Structure 1
Amino acid sequence: MPGYKVHISGSFVAGILVLLGLVNIGLYVIDPEQVVALLVVCVLGGLFPDIDTDSKGKRLFYSGMLMLALALIYLKHFQWAAYLGVLAMLPGVSAHRGWTHTWWAMLLVPMPMLILPYYIYGHPLPTLLPYYVAFVTGYFSHLFLDREF
Structure 2
Amino acid sequence: MPGYKAHLTGGTVLAAGALAGAFFLEIYRPDPFTGAALLATACLAALFPDVDTSSKGRGLFYGILAVVDIALMIMGKWQWAAILGLVAMLPALDNHRGWTHTWWAMLLVPAAILGTAHFALHPPMQILAPFYAAAVVGYFSHLALDREF
Query: Normalising by structure 2, what TM-score?
Result: 0.94
Higher alpha-carbon deviation: 8-17 or 23-32: 23-32
In 2, Cα distance between equivalents of 1:31 and 1:148: 34
In 1, Cα distance between equivalents of 2:84 and 2:45: 14
Higher alpha-carbon deviation: 80-89 or 36-45: 80-89
Q: Any conservation in 1 of the 2:11–2:137 contact (CA below 8 Å)?
A: yes
CA shift for structure 1 position 113: 4.1
Corresponding residue number in structure 1 for 2:60:
60
Corresponding residue number in structure 1 for 2:103:
103
CA shift for structure 1 position 116: 2.7
Higher alpha-carbon deviation: 117-126 or 47-56: 117-126
Corresponding residue number in structure 1 for 2:22:
22
Higher alpha-carbon deviation: 16-25 or 40-49: 16-25
Cα 1:93/1:112, change in 2 over 3 Å: closer
Letter in 2 for 1:144: A
When the two chains are superposed, the root-mean-square deviation of aligned CA atoms in Å is: 1.2
Cα 1:89/1:121, change in 2 over 3 Å: closer
Q: Any gaps of 5 or more consecutive residues in structure 1?
A: none
| Offset from partner CA, 1:43-96 (integer Å, 9 cap, x none) | 001000000111111110001110111011101122221221122111112111
Letter in 2 for 1:143: L
Letter in 2 for 1:148: E
In 1, Cα distance between equivalents of 2:113 and 2:129: 8
In 2, Cα distance between equivalents of 1:64 and 1:80: 15
Runs of 4+ in 1 over 3 A off after TM superposition: none
Cα 1:136/1:128, change in 2 over 3 Å: same
- Which secondary structure state, in structure 1, belongs to the residue aligned with residue 110 of structure 2? coil
Corresponding residue number in structure 2 for 1:147:
147
Q: Any gaps of 5 or more consecutive residues in structure 2?
A: none
Alignment of 1:43-122 (within 5 A): 43-122=43-122
Q: How many residues align?
A: 149
